[in-house]
Amino acid sequence: MSPLVKNEPLIDAVLFDFGGVVTTSPFEAFSRYETEIGAPADSIRRINSTNPNNNAWAKMEKSEVDISEFCELFEAEAADFGLELSGQKVLECLSGNVRPEMVRALEILKQRVRIGCITNNMKSGHGAGMARTSEQAASVAQIMEMFEVVVESAKVGLRKPDVRIYELACSELGVDPRNCAYLDDLGINCKPAANLGMVAIKVVDPHVALDDLERVVGFSLR
């Protein structure tokens, strides 16, 4: 009997967003905080989508302000909407729970293709994943070590959806964007990847996203 031969991967690399893809979405935590204080649903997202290139959120993700400055700016922006929100509480929402199925997929992918991470993050909490506890930080650090390249907005001064951050990740991985897939939970961040020729997968349900990614890479990720 001839040995089983693995099919060659259909692409060279897969790039991942982190929060909302490898971990649960911060939007879930935003929603819980809004409910807790009686704020209208999606208040935080509405604030952050106003003046998106130069608001408190954008400045923090590019390390143009520190935590105290962010809180002051964000709370002022919230006040413009007639809302009283805590910038510190919002930052505490950023650290999600690890999705084991995504970690398993990373383990498999790493054996067959190049993998990298592009994350819009802030210098808040512990490490690139903005963990709130040392235990969570250790878990996230182990995952981050799986990636060949991690591009953090807080370190490079660029943030998605700026096309340059995708180009930087591909350059550091040494791959052509046209031979890559990209996963993100925000459609606005998928568009630049698609414009560069990547196969962009919007992550709403992680299991469905993995189905889509399996079709792109040409092998099982479970």
What's the pLDDT tens digit per position in 8-57?
899 999 999 999 999 999 999 999 999 999 999 999 999 999 999 999 99
What pLDDT is recorded for position 5? 45
Phi, then psi, of 16 in degrees rounded to 5: -120, 140
| CATH no., domain 13-23+97-217 | 3.40.50.1000
Give, as one character, the DSSP assignment of residue 19: B
Tell me the per-residue pLDDT of 89-134, one tens digit each, with 9 for 90 and over.
999 998 889 999 999 999 999 999 999 999 999 887 666 556 667 7
Q: Which CATH class is domain 27-91?
A: mainly alpha
Residue with tokens 């998928």: 190
Answer yes or no: are the C-beta atoms of 74 and 56 closer than 8 Å.
yes
- CA dihedral sign, ordered 220, 15, 210, 200: negative
Listed in order, strand segments (DSSP E) in 99-148 are 114-119
Q: Structure tokens of 58?
A: 């954008």
More confident of the two residues 1 and 103: 103
What pLDDT is recorded for position 133? 76
Domain ranges of the chain: 13-23+97-217, 27-91
Tell me the per-residue pLDDT of 51-68, one tens digit each, with 9 for 90 and over.
999 999 999 999 999 999
Q: Structure tokens of 10?
A: 């259909």
Answer yes or no: are the C-beta atoms of 43 and 83 closer than 8 Å.
yes
| Distance of alpha carbon 105 from alpha carbon 155, whole angstroms | 26
